[in-house]
Amino acid sequence: MVALAALLVVTVGCFAGMATASTPYADPATACEGENQQLVALLENGDTASDDLAVFVGTEIRFVFCSSESGGNSAETTDAWGISVDGLNNVASDSRTITVEASSPMDGIDLAEHIERKSADQIDAPTLTVVEAGSTNTSYLERPSEVRFGDSSTRASFANARGEYVSAVNEADSLAKNLTNAADAEDPANALDSNDVAAADSHITTINDVSTRIERLFVRAAANGGEGATAAYFAQQEHSAAVTADLESAADNYVAAVETQATDARLFATALLFGPFVAGVLVGGLGGRAISRRDLKQIRRERRRDRTVEYSLGNLWKVFVGATVAVLAGVAVVVVGVGISEIIAVIA
């Protein structure tokens, strides 16, 4: 973000004619350093321009003519030169500078052709463009500001991008609410269309793409001196980041709720399937133990009377039969009541 702020400052410097800040004009002598036979524009924000210059209607420009004729590069006195251009109204002058106001639009005027100078030497001067300023309020942002765009084409591009962005944000907010409500429902998996989850990623991509276009337009506005453009740039970044973060969080919470529901269902189905088996084993085992203890007592009594009495596997038959019947009965209850296909599907 710091690097971008520096970029905006540098860019504004390149197109400083659009700025309207109250920074003092540059000193004429300083502006003429390294210049010869050159008309230099001094701007209200402290910048200078000797090549292409673009300003809004109503901007004041202070001109200084730099020459080495008096020894070294210095600002010539205004009694040796002047400037006359339709659409540039003289506002003030002093011994070294002439200040004008751009009163009407103009496109690519070579100011060298409009300099009146006593010397006939070849001179260089900026090419001047003057455009109508258009102001737009970024009321859709949390921190709105007024942004001036340098031309109608850029304003139109912003208007289109803004419409797309606001529409995408509204859809994202609605989807985030649906995802949140579905995550809190008793049956999250069936509370929302599965396509809505995939739509979250699509909405995030759209918002990021449109926001990037808007940010570039704000950079262009800042380069043209548009007031509020830099603040709007960072406000736009913050807004899009917040919207996409909310939607992404809602989607993640919904997916987590569905996964939790699926895990709970698998545990329930597993317990439902194997519970009767365990119960059957317990019933059969406990019952078998009781039967075995009874039979053993009887055998011990009989062996006291007759040492030839034996205890074989045949005596356990009742235990095996009881346990098997209990297990099969439990499984049958589950299969009939729930359905084996449903149970397998949930476990899988």
Round to whole Å and give the CA distance between 74 and 109.
25
Q: What pLDDT is stored for residue 85 in this prediction?
A: 92
- Residues of the chain short of pLDDT 50, as ranges, are 1-22, 264, 346-347
- What residue ranges in the chain does DSSP mark as E strands? 38-43, 48-49, 52-56, 60-67, 74-75, 81-83, 88-93, 97-102, 106-110, 115-117, 127-131, 134-137, 146-149
Round to whole Å and give the CA distance between 342 and 344.
6
Round to whole Å and give the CA distance between 152 and 210.
19
Round to whole Å and give the CA distance between 288 and 285.
5
Q: What pLDDT is stored for residue 96 in this prediction?
A: 92
Residue type, 91: V
* Structure token digits, residue 121: 């030497």
CATH number of the domain located at residue range(s) 135-260 in this protein: 1.20.58
- Going by DSSP bridges, is the β-strand pair 106-110/127-131 parallel, antiparallel, or unpaired? antiparallel
Q: What pLDDT is stored for residue 123 in this prediction?
A: 86
116 forms beta bridges with 82
Q: What pLDDT is stored for residue 323 in this prediction?
A: 57
Sign of the Cα pseudo-torsion (184, 186, 187, 193, in order): negative
Which of 55, 57, 30 is closest to 43 using CA atoms? 55
Q: Where along the chain do its domains lie?
A: 15-132, 135-260, 263-347
CA angle 109–114–116, rounded 5-degree value: 165
* Contacts for 246 with CB less than 8 Å, ≥ 6 apart: 172, 173, 176
Buried b (16+ CB within 10 A) or exposed e, 114-140: bbebeeeeebbbbebbbbebbebebee
Q: What pLDDT is stored for residue 63 in this prediction?
A: 96
